[in-house]
Structure 1
Amino acid sequence: MRVKKTVLLTAGALAVAASLALAGCSAGAESGGSTTDADSSTLTVWVDADRAAVLKDAAAAFTKESGVKVKLVQKDFAKIQEEFIAQVPTGKGPDITIAAHDWLGNFVSNGVVQPVELGDTAADYQQVAVTAMSYEGKTYGVPYSIENIALLRNTALAPTAPATFDDMVAAGTAAGTEFPYLVQIGPEADPYHLYPFQTSFGAPVFGTNADGSYNPDDLTVGNAGGEAFATWLAAEGAAGRMSVNLTGDIAKEKFYAGASPFLLTGPWNVPDAQAAGIDVSVDPIPSAGGQVAQPFVGVQGFMVSAKTKNAIAANEFLVNYIGSEEVQTALYDVGGRPPALTAAFEAASSDPITAGFGAVGATAVPMPNIPQMGKVWQFWGVTEAAIVSNEGDPVELWQKMTADIAAAIQ
């Protein structure tokens, strides 16, 4: 296995480093230097079942090079965040865990992760991935994948990509299908899938700092753009183009059946569309409000426990092995998500589906990884559902939502 040599350490150097780290930990256990594993020559890594096979090969190569063993523990991805926060402070958690970037604020506020030193390799990743894995000016993870939605187009029903939202509606109407376009809503709406339309009105949830990180004190969702989006959303509901009856399952089945030329979705629904005999194209999401329609980007990667005894070896394994083109490509092969490493992404982009989603992801924005985002979700979707269903004045509903979010955050 070919690995990066940027910060590669020899087995001897790792052994010395581990000894120094142990000495420092024994002197400062009360300040967070306790271990997750009694054996500092072993790295314990939490990983989900889909990624375990790839990491097995990377772990073997790392052990051969460094002498440090890697113990892989399979976990249910949905349970990792809660278990990691609970176990790390007790010393029972892993040295490294697979994670979604939007867990980061919660991890940092609970003191369970430590920064990763990417060094010069930071420039090897797509910028949006590094930004997503950063919090308060520090990088806390090595990203391996990027995921976002885009516009899936049935080329038989719509030969060309729409330039604007109105173009999409016109093309969908001209196709004579049941729906001009499809986006999943559901009984409590779906802010994730509606977000690119919202950003096209200039209404992100939070403002950003100079470094691109989110500012929790700048709740921009209630600005004039947000009001315009709410008004537009009500109009789409009144026109029958959006409905809370269109759940994710119904929307995709309608698309597979040829009931619309367009579906806002992610790469996870492409295989079934192709299996249904649809020739699909992946296009940018057309703007409804005049600005760029930016969906959320979800980034997955690996993070290091704040309690590991072997931080140097953990950093080495992540940067030089998980961060290698070979491993990032292998993770893409098993998961289908575009790689975070630029070289691996460029190689994968020979597939037009991957290239299409990647092009949209390059202009997208990371889902906020700050803890305050948790307060947004509880009001956001139900408000959008009420607006789509025309249950009140859209601007008043939107401003009430904004006030409720602000109060919850405070």
Structure 2
Amino acid sequence: MMVNKKGLLAAGAVAVAASLALAGCSGAGSSKSGGSDAASSTLTVWVDADRAAVLKDAAAAFTKESGVTVKLVQKDFGKIQEQFIAQVPTGKGPDVTIAAHDWLGNFVGNGVVQPVELGDTAKDFQKVAVTAMSVEGKTYGVPYSIENVALLRNTALAPTAPASYDDMIAAGTAAGTEFPFLVQVGPESDPYHLYPFQTSFGAPVFGTNSDGSYNAGDLSIGNTGGEAYAAWLAKEGAAGHLSVNVTGDIAKEKFNAGASPFLITGPWNVPDAQKAGIDVAVDPIPSAGGQTAQPFVGVQGFVVSAKSKNAIAANEFLVNYIGSEKVQTELYKVGGRAPALTSAFEAASADPITAGFGAVAAKAVPMPSIPQMGKVWQFWGVTEAAIISGQGDPAALWQKMTADIQTAIK
């Protein structure tokens, strides 16, 4: 049973504990696999190593207030999605797990998660984070972090942020460096890093519904903006500004060596740039097509198992503990990802790096979590690579890609 109002979520811990005790009179002991078949006065939570220490403190506070024991089971993050889908139907999965938002399509499709009730607290989170954790108008998790790419700028080589893509190329050329700007492409391209340029031409992968969710029936990637983007890829490839020879490692290495004023990347590459002695600024990605360049946002959060016998306690733990400013701030400190809770993000924004990435995230779009997105990747990157390398007519290649994706989805 899910609670429907914040008032119930925020009810006294004694009432929560009492309801759980009544529900758990016949509960079995905890399974060795960390499953949810424990008595309902226990919550089993899957968490990765990086977040375990923070959740240990949050779990202790929750137990002290409610009397509900929280059992943390440490998992390899890369294996959680598969294991969760396999174990939940058997009743041996956890009550709660950490998750990336783009797993939700699989989770909802397999019936292994249930909605959470954010209640009035929904407005306290950054809008893009709540949208990312939602499927078909229902919110399936409490977000804790946001991550996206932006434009890193070497301030010694480029004192001001470029207003457009052409301005960036001009500034990079004027700097006299080996590369006007850098972005990882690689032999099969990298649609994730190039997506901001694509959206600046008005060519999202999927259209959206009125609530901001993706419409799987609206494959917008093949619109006229997509064709304009394809033509741009060919032009920039011919000019040498985009190259399949530039991998992620090469882009990072060259930027850290001062071979370009600009690098499109995420916060994960900032520490090494700073260690290399570069004074880094974080700017919005400049538009190539005239519209706002919107990168994908990746959101991480915590979701509740559809088979949890402890849904009330799980919702309480997520909303009022993991969703608290204290916990969100501590998760930011250990992971470096911008907090999803607005108040925690505003506090973290005293760091200009976090503030810069956060400003870009506010105008970004969630990575599609709908199952149909899985059919896009196999055609998308290789087509971009072919266009950049001049292997055919850009419009024809782009439309063939779109038709292939449509066929795969059907």
Alignment match, 2:32:
none
Distance 1:24 1:299 in 2: 37
Alignment match, 1:30:
none
Q: Which residue identity lines up with residue 136 of structure 2 in the other structure?
A: E
Deviations 1:316-363 (A, max 9, x none): 000000000000000000000000000000000000000000000000
Matched, 1:217 2:217: yes
Alignment match, 1:233:
233
Matched, 1:10 2:12: yes
**C-alpha displacement at 1:23, in angstroms?**
8.6
**C-alpha displacement at 1:15, in angstroms?**
2.9
**C-alpha displacement at 1:187, in angstroms?**
1.0
Gaps of 5+ in 1: 27-34
Q: Which residue identity lines up with residue 14 of structure 1 in the other structure?
A: V
Alignment match, 1:31:
none
Deviations 1:200-255 (A, max 9, x none): 00000000000000000000000000000000001111111111110000000000
Distance 1:10 1:215 in 2: 41
Gaps of 5+ in 2: 1-5, 29-34
Distance 1:157 1:305 in 2: 50
RMSD, matched Cα? 1.6
**C-alpha displacement at 1:25, in angstroms?**
10
Distance 1:23 1:211, change over 3 A: farther
Distance 1:20 1:201 in 2: 57
Matched, 1:283 2:299: no
CA contact (8 A) 1:9 1:66 kept: no
CA contact (8 A) 2:187 2:244 kept: yes
Matched, 1:68 2:68: yes
1:58-207 matched pairs, under 5 angstroms:
58-207=58-207
Matched, 1:301 2:301: yes
Distance 1:224 1:381, change over 3 A: same
Distance 2:198 2:23 in 1: 48
CA contact (8 A) 1:158 1:172 kept: yes
4+ residue stretches of structure 1 with deviation over 6 A? 23-26
CA contact (8 A) 1:158 1:261 kept: yes
Matched, 1:310 2:306: no
Identity %: 82
Distance 1:40 1:133 in 2: 26
Distance 1:158 1:291 in 2: 23
Distance 2:230 2:19 in 1: 56
Distance 2:22 2:222 in 1: 52
Distance 1:309 1:7 in 2: 16
Alignment match, 2:3:
none
Tell me the secondary structure at the aligned position of residue 182 of structure 2: coil
Distance 1:381 1:323 in 2: 36
CA contact (8 A) 1:6 1:120 kept: no
Tell me the secondary structure at the aligned position of residue 301 of structure 1: strand
Distance 1:347 1:82 in 2: 35
CA contact (8 A) 2:26 2:39 kept: no
Distance 2:231 2:41 in 1: 59
Distance 2:220 2:196 in 1: 15
Distance 1:134 1:109 in 2: 13
Moved more, 7-16 or 93-102: 7-16
Matched, 1:262 2:262: yes
Alignment match, 1:251:
251
Tell me the secondary structure at the aligned position of residue 99 of structure 2: strand
**C-alpha displacement at 1:18, in angstroms?**
2.0
**C-alpha displacement at 1:49, in angstroms?**
0.2
**C-alpha displacement at 1:84, in angstroms?**
0.4
Distance 1:11 1:162 in 2: 53
Q: Which residue identity lines up with residue 152 of structure 2 in the other structure?
A: L
CA contact (8 A) 1:9 1:316 kept: no
Q: Which residue identity lines up with residue 310 of structure 1 in the other structure?
A: N
**C-alpha displacement at 1:38, in angstroms?**
2.7
CA contact (8 A) 2:155 2:281 kept: yes
CA contact (8 A) 1:6 1:320 kept: no
How many residue pairs align between the two structures? 399
Matched, 1:388 2:388: yes
Distance 1:140 1:125 in 2: 14
Distance 1:77 1:187 in 2: 27
CA contact (8 A) 1:6 1:121 kept: no
Distance 1:363 1:129 in 2: 12
Alignment match, 2:406:
406
1:29-48 matched pairs, under 5 angstroms:
36-48=36-48
TM-score (norm 2): 0.95
Distance 2:255 2:23 in 1: 56
TM-score (norm 1): 0.95
Tell me the secondary structure at the aligned position of residue 218 of structure 1: coil
Tell me the secondary structure at the aligned position of residue 61 of structure 2: helix
Deviations 1:253-275 (A, max 9, x none): 00000000000000000000000
**C-alpha displacement at 1:6, in angstroms?**
7.9
Tell me the secondary structure at the aligned position of residue 372 of structure 1: helix
Distance 2:165 2:76 in 1: 39
